[in-house]
Structure 1
Amino acid sequence: MPAARRCCGGSRMDWCYRTASLPRGIRMQTRSSQSMLHLFLVTLTLQACGDAGTEPNALPPVPPPQPPPPLSVVIEPVFTQLSFSSPVAMMQSPGDDTRWYVVEQRGIVRVFDHDVNVASSSVYLDIDSRVDSSANEAGLLGMAFHPDFQNNGQVFLSYTRGGPLTSVVSRFTVDPNSGLPDPASEFIVLTVPQPFGNHNGGNLAFGPGGNLYIGFGDGGGGGDPEENGQDTHNILGAIVRVDVDGVPPYAIPNDNPFATNSQCMAGFGTMDCPEIYA
């Protein structure tokens, strides 16, 4: 038997030593078996790696959501036979879609039938003599029907009056005989002094809870020189929320941010105004 020989180093040395002592045929067969074993292990490893990320019951990936189709908006002129003087708002009363109301900045509310062929409108309420609309952003600026208008006939208006310039929120009540708000029924809910003739604001809206929301501007002057927008001791530059069904002239909703403070009925106070909602 031939003498053993060393053909390599490291961990393969013993294998080389043993195979070198075998006859050539046996050595070839042994090496062939080793090669087949090596190939089998490599194949098994690759198959295991390939199957590692696949589950037989895996669901297919969910496709990304499809974008909504583009909106199709068509603008068509309506009530083409009517004209108004500086309209600032247009609305319908709760529970009645047969008529439209238009608020004119000069201090007049007009009404007309919901008919594309309507040819005229009529005066619903005229408080022109109480409204100062001389400044470009002053005048009659907002209107809202009480949610229970069909029963109580209450209409709320927001306007500026002169001497000095002041924003006024008032309630008017419909006369059951005429079906029109009675100018003499005015009940002032809230006032706030306006330092300038712009940025007065005054939009009105009732929320789903029945509270009245009032939007006041910062009082104007260019760049808010009096910093009213950041001053919570007055109600300028704020959205006000009040309960007009509470103790007159109004109550403060319990969840207003400063609800426990004294009311700022003149538009300002020494504490954070509880009328402020945002």
Structure 2
Amino acid sequence: MRKVRVRLRPLVSKINLPTVLKTAILPGDYIERLFIATQVGEIFYIGDGVIRTFLDIRSRILKLGTSEQGVSGGGYDERGLLGLAFHPDFYDNGLFYLHYSVAGTQGPGALSEPFKPNPCDPQTLNLRWINRETQYDHIDTVEEWILQSNGQPQKRRTLLNLRRPFFNHNGVNSLNFSPETGNLVLTTGDGGSGYDPFNLSQNDMEIAGKIIEIDVTKNIFISNPPVVSRFDELPIPIQETLTVIAKGVRNIPGISFQRFYNEYIKYVGNVGQDLVESIFSFVQYKPIPVIQLTQASLMKSKPNLEGFINFGWRGWEGAFPTSFIRRCSLNPALDEKTIAYFNEAISSSAKRIEPLTSYFHKDQRPDKFGGTALTGVQAYAGNRIPNLTGSVVFTDLAKHTASKSPVRGVLAYTRVSSDCKLNDFSVIETDHHFGTQSAYYVSLGTNLLQTRLYLGVYGSIKVTDFNQGTVFEIVP
């Protein structure tokens, strides 16, 4: 693939960790402005070269960087303000949507100790999430807000309240509108820990590990929906607003749509476990109404899943059976890889879709890189960077390296392969010098026409290390 070199043009600096970067035109305005949502609960927009506050919900956000499980202690966290989406008619109706972790909902977590599957011990392969009302980590909410005529945002209603088993894998950039259906798309992670202990991602009745469409045109007149983790726990009027696009999700930095003649290519990144990060693409799919899933469950029958998208997790990590990795005792320079869920890998092998491209956590090839975690996937339709036109651009949190040099994230790209085989990818070189400061690439965004790209960088892995963020525009 062609070598691409770009420049990073700083737009704003010394902000908190940016989780969402997207543009919108404010009602009554005439300029498309970049909006930046931070993990701690702020939403800014850039106008006339000045950064202004659009909304501040820090008081509504769960206290970040600490956990009763101790897992997220030390400042690292995957909760907070994770999703922001503007209604397609935002300019006229002022509607926008938020996904965040709710203040005061900290629980003890679903397991008292870290989970690791043991292929020789069926008990570890068949765990169930029990006592959910008390054994959970936190509650996430999806809300509809409106920008009032006086310029002040106000909450209108709650769409979903989701009980989450662990602090991690809640998704990020988790709300986007589908240009195909006009529905709000919610991308949820598998609930966290590691290896999906309860196999929530493959269970059709679990909300975790899915891509879900919400028809926001339906007003269900339920002011405070119940806190749930399963579709069949939802009131029927809410079930009737939901369809499921895909399952088998581990964790996901949103969904991106690329127009291709009269259709849209959907790009989805699935964050890996120990081996590989993967990006999937699909055009045709058959969404399943949640009411159909719950009725099938009630009748103890199997729903028709033909055309339904399955990314394969937890049996598959991208194009490979999920494995856990240990140092080889005979040769420390090599790794021993053991398939974690052999039977699940076999049973789901024909039901899943193959990734468009994958990159490994360890890769010695000179033109590749070893990654850590996928943090953004965006289609690019602009022509300012000609070699990227029509491609899908992605970011990794931190390049894997044996040296002690400062941390650097990675920018890369791939294209849809005409033969549907696993495609190659190429690193996008940047000219920016971060000096001795760490530079984690935490988010990737575009404007409405996908002709501009924006990159969120943070100087620390800890959300409690404040004001270390910079947002760049990626330019020629």
Q: Distance in 2 between matches of 1:100 and 1:256?
A: 31
Equivalent residues in 2 for 1:1-278 (5 A)?
A: 70=2, 72-80=4-12, 82-93=13-24, 97-113=31-47, 118=49, 120-135=50-65, 136-161=77-102, 162-164=104-106, 165-177=138-150, 179-182=151-154, 185-202=155-172, 203-208=174-179, 209-248=181-220, 251-252=241-242, 256-261=287-292
Moved over 4 A (4+): 94-97, 269-273
Name which structure has the greater RCO, CA cutoff 8 Å, separation 6+.
2
Q: Distance in 1 between matches of 2:163 and 2:184?
A: 20
Question: Any conservation in 2 of the 1:199–1:220 contact (CA below 8 Å)?
Answer: yes
Residues 98/221 of structure 1: CA separation in 2 closer, same or farther (3 Å cut): same
Question: Any conservation in 2 of the 1:214–1:241 contact (CA below 8 Å)?
Answer: yes
Q: Distance in 1 between matches of 2:205 and 2:186?
A: 16
Partner SS, residue 201 of structure 2:
helix
Q: Distance in 2 between matches of 1:228 and 1:148?
A: 34
| Larger strand share, 1 or 2 | 2
Query: How many pairs does the alignment contain?
Result: 196
- What's the CA shift for 1:242? 1.4
Partner SS, residue 150 of structure 1:
helix
- What's the CA shift for 1:258? 3.8
Q: Which letter does structure 2 place at the counterpart of 1:218?
A: D
Q: Distance in 2 between matches of 1:71 and 1:211?
A: 37
- What's the CA shift for 1:180? 3.3
Question: Any conservation in 2 of the 1:168–1:188 contact (CA below 8 Å)?
Answer: yes
Q: Distance in 2 between matches of 1:180 and 1:112?
A: 17
| RMSD between aligned residues | 3.0
Identical pairs, percent: 29
- What's the CA shift for 1:217? 0.7
Structure 1 or 2, whichever has the larger Rg, is 1
Residues 74/174 of structure 1: CA separation in 2 closer, same or farther (3 Å cut): same
- What's the CA shift for 1:262? 7.1
Q: Distance in 2 between matches of 1:148 and 1:176?
A: 15
Residues 226/253 of structure 1: CA separation in 2 closer, same or farther (3 Å cut): closer
Q: Which letter does structure 1 place at the counterpart of 2:143?
A: S
Q: How far does the alpha carbon of each residue in 1:103-130 deviate from its partner, in whole angstroms, 9 at most, with x for none?
A: 01011111121x5xx2x42211111111
Q: Distance in 2 between matches of 1:205 and 1:85?
A: 22
- Point out where structure 1 has 5 or more consecutive residues left out of the alignment: 1-68
Q: Distance in 2 between matches of 1:155 and 1:240?
A: 17
Residues 110/239 of structure 1: CA separation in 2 closer, same or farther (3 Å cut): same
| Larger helix share, 1 or 2 | 1
Q: Distance in 2 between matches of 1:277 and 1:70?
A: 31
Q: How far does the alpha carbon of each residue in 1:156-200 deviate from its partner, in whole angstroms, 9 at most, with x for none?
A: 0000114241111101111101x2312xx2410012101111111
Question: Any conservation in 1 of the 2:17–2:38 contact (CA below 8 Å)?
Answer: yes
Q: Distance in 2 between matches of 1:206 and 1:91?
A: 12
Partner SS, residue 151 of structure 1:
helix
Question: Any conservation in 2 of the 1:239–1:277 contact (CA below 8 Å)?
Answer: no
- What's the CA shift for 1:94? 5.2
Residues 252/199 of structure 1: CA separation in 2 closer, same or farther (3 Å cut): closer
Residues 109/152 of structure 1: CA separation in 2 closer, same or farther (3 Å cut): same
- What's the CA shift for 1:260? 3.8
